[in-house]
Structure 1
Amino acid sequence: MDGAHAASCEEMGTTMSSAEGVAYKGLQQCIETVMAEVKRLLSAEQKATDYKSPDDGVVPDHRPTNACIRVVAYLFRILEAAFTALEGLNKQAFLTELVTHIFLI
């Protein structure tokens, strides 16, 4: 009995480790998809006139650009989905990775 129990525990540990690896890969792919959409939105919506140098003598316009509004709205939808679908360490890991990727844009 003891040998069978130990083998069963070892097999369960291996299976859990494999499942965690697959879940992590899925979360990474999700983040890559989110970031691809953010980059697509920025490239489609940003305009050169959105960026004016203070040297232009024009008073800066601090209103958000259309690109900013669309990206923020998209990210809010993603966060709502993440908070609904994930919990615990999975939610923490996903949000940490997402924020890290956002700051790298």
Structure 2
Amino acid sequence: MCDAGLKLPPNNEKLQREEEEVMHGANLTLKLNFPQYQSEVEELSVKSSTEVGYVKLLIGQRKGITAKNIRIFYNGTQMIDPMSLCDHLGVSPPSIDVDVYINLEHTIDV
């Protein structure tokens, strides 16, 4: 009898982690620096494939403001909303430092 049928890969946690990273991006810790608030630093853990707009939304929820009032900079360059974090030059796990600026003039929703 022929034993050349389809074989599934072994149940291996390392392989599953690698597949997850390929599909969704590796874990990435953002060290959020808030220059307007002198030395306030927070951390946010996301996947490297997370969109910048979603990161703004998460920060906005923490700060009680809307995402449209937030700008994020990496290495002095503003990160663009429709792009993923990993689409920006130099972004790679396990962590990056970013500067977060909040438009203080328009932080109240009516």
Shorter-chain TM-score above 0.5: no
Given the two structures, how large is their TM-score scaled by the length of structure 1?
0.27
* Higher CA-based Rg: 1
Structure with the higher strand share, 1 or 2: 2
More helix by share: 1
